[in-house]
A and B are shown apart, each in its own frame.
Chain A
């Protein structure tokens, strides 16, 4: 079985401050990890993924995420948040040998001006 936990329902930061959205996962095999962002009444947009290689993954719109195997975490980060980053963020995982994605509950990010 595979699962994802996003412990924070909401994250609020001021524009220009660092942004972190937390994610921990559980899989039986090798984890394939993903971050997606969703704007109101829209589908999900792919931000970045970790499959193998460097633990620090850089993605779209200045986002990055760090894979930590010992802590089974894959936190999303952005050094300087923008108001336009306000959205719903989903972490997802699938077992490398499987095809199904399991999503976290989502974290609403609000960046205030």
Chain B
């Protein structure tokens, strides 16, 4: 299957700083990328959807100024958690689709963010 690489896999940052997470599709062009947040032993919560070259679409309740998403190319999307606080600590996962229709989404390995 297609490969989606997410970096870093773990990050610890101080409260008030910003953290950038990268999501790359390695062997296909991703027209759409998705960012999820997962709390311990819970399902994935969709945060936002990004299409290359356009603004991300955020789900209700997700602060767009706090979670900045950029999808500058067909192989790269970034999520920046700005002014991070301990409650932002979570597991963040990206996924990417090659196109519309019956294309399945492929997931990155996730990023464990800990804000201290």
Contacts and interface: CB of A to CB of B under 8 A. Distances in A.
Interface of A: 32, 34, 36, 41-46, 49, 51-52, 90, 99-101, 103-106, 108
Interface in B21-43: 32, 34, 41-43
A39 B112 CA distance: 14
Interface stretch (B11-19, B67-75, B81-89, B98-106): B98-106
Nearest to A60: B1
Given A36-B107, A44-B44, A44-B93, 14 more contacts: A34-B105, A41-B91, A41-B110, A43-B4, A43-B95, A44-B95, A45-B107, A46-B104, A46-B106, A46-B107, A52-B102, A99-B49, A101-B95, A106-B43
Given A90-B43, A100-B46, A105-B42, A43 B104 contact: no
B43 A43 contact: no
A20 B35 CA distance: 29
Contact of B110 (A32, A42, A51): A42
Interface of B: 1, 4, 6, 9, 32, 34, 41-44, 46, 49, 91, 93, 95, 97, 100, 102, 104-110, 112
Contacts of B34: 100-101
A100 B95 CA distance: 11
A9 to B, nearest CB: 9
Contacts of A101: 34, 46, 95, 105
B42 A43 contact: no
A44 B102 contact: no
B46 A43 contact: no
